[in-house]
Amino acid sequence: MTDAPRPPFEHPANALVLEIFRANGALIRLGDALVKPLGLTSARWQVLGAVAQGHGGLPVARIADNMGLTRQSVQRIVDELAEAELVGFAPNPAHKRAKLVVMTPRGQRLFQRASERWAPYADAIAAALDPRRLRSTTDNLATLRGFLDQTNDRSSE
Amino acid sequence: MTDAPRPPFEHPANALVLEIFRANGALIRLGDALVKPLGLTSARWQVLGAVAQGHGGLPVARIADNMGLTRQSVQRIVDELAEAELVGFAPNPAHKRAKLVVMTPRGQRLFQRASERWAPYADAIAAALDPRRLRSTTDNLATLRGFLDQTNDRSSE
DNA sequence: CGAGATTTGACAGCATCCTGTCGTTATGAC
DNA sequence: GTCATAACGACAGGATGCTGTCAAATCTCG
Pick the residue from chain B with its C-alpha nearest to A29. Answer: B152
pLDDT in tens, A134-157: 999 999 999 999 999 888 877 765
Instruction: Please tell me the distance from the alpha carbon of residue A78 to that of residue A89, in angstroms, as a whole number.
Output: 10
* The CATH number, out of the four listed (3.20.20.70, 2.60.40.420, 3.20.20.190, 1.10.10.10), of the domain defined by the range B31-136: 1.10.10.10
Q: Which nucleotides of C are covered by protein (CB under 7 A)?
A: 7-13, 15-20, 23-27
Q: What is the pLDDT of residues B2-32, one digit of tens each?
A: 444 444 457 899 999 999 999 999 999 999 9
Other Cβ atoms less than 10 A from the Cβ of A9: the count is 14
Dump strand ranges (E) for B19-138.
Answer: 87-92, 95-103
Nucleic strand C within 7 A of Cβ A95: yes
Task: Output A114-120 pairs: Cβ under 8 A, ≥24 positions apart.
Answer: A114/A34, A114/A35, A114/A38, A114/A40, A114/A45, A114/A48, A115/B7, A115/B8, A117/A34, A117/A35, A117/A38, A118/A34, A118/B8, A119/B8, A119/B11
CATH (residue range A13-119): 1.10.10.10
Taking residues A35-49, report their average pLDDT: 95
How much of chain A exceeds pLDDT 70, in percent? Answer: 92
Query: Per-residue pLDDT averaged across B87-107, rounded?
Result: 91
Nucleotide nearest to B96 (CA to C1'): C25
One-letter amino acid for residue B61 of the chain: A
Inter-chain CB proximity A134 and B46 less than 8 Å: no
Residue A69 is nearest to which of B25, B69, B135, comparing CB atoms?
Answer: B25
- Distance separating alpha carbons of residues A86 and A43, to the nearest angstrom: 14
For residue B5, the tally of other CB atoms under 10 A from its CB is: 9
Specify the range with the lowest mean pLDDT, choosing from B5-19, B99-113, B132-146. B5-19
